[in-house]
Amino acid sequence: MTSLPQSILFCCDHNSVRSPMAEGIMKKFYGTGTYVQSAGVHGDLDIDGFCIAVCQEIEVELSRHRSRSFDEMEEWGDDLSSFDLIVALSPASQRKALELTRFFHLDVDYWPIMDPTGLGESREEKLRHYRQTRDQIISHLKDRWGEPTE
């Protein structure tokens, strides 16, 4: 368990499931003392409805989240070098983060979080997979920064 960084960026492939979940849960668990954002390798998908549903179950509101890519993030004024830590939640986002930060003294961690999109046939099966992803994120957060403080 380590102390909370001042700023953290979560990233995944499309910023529509895993990284928004991580961003929202991090903010709920540990408050506003840490600047938290998320981005994707691509920003081409809207936030996933199943993602919104399973986060509402734990009182994390994601319906207003707007997906964005690394490129859009920088266009909006979030410079990667201003983050203390980048947590990649997919192999593609880990590669992109390492590529973009090769000139910065910046930690990039990789958490292998399951991508639930496309898994399950029925609504309930799909929700079960999304809950597994949510719970994997929660487990990693608690392992890294301890029990929620909020």
Sequence ranges of the domains in the chain:
7-145
pLDDT of residue 39: 93
Residues of the chain with pLDDT under 50: none
> What's the Cα-to-Cα distance from 88 to each of 36, 71, 82, 126, rounded to whole Å?
13, 16, 16, 23
Please give, one letter per residue, the 3-state secondary structure of 8-69.
Answer: EEEEECCCCCHHHHHHHHHHHHHCCCCEEEEEECCCCCCCCHHHHHHHHCCCCCCCCCCCCE
Alpha-carbon span 80 to 78, nearest angstrom: 6
pLDDT of residue 135: 98
Strands 7-12 and 35-40: parallel
Q: Tokens 């540990």 — which residue? A: 30
pLDDT of residue 150: 80
CATH of domain 7-145: 3.40.50.2300
Q: What is the helix, strand, coil percentage profile of the chain, to 5?
A: 40, 15, 45
The pTM (predicted TM-score) of the whole model is: 0.92
Question: How many CB atoms are closer than 10 A to CB 74?
Answer: 14
Question: How many CB atoms are closer than 10 A to CB 83?
Answer: 23
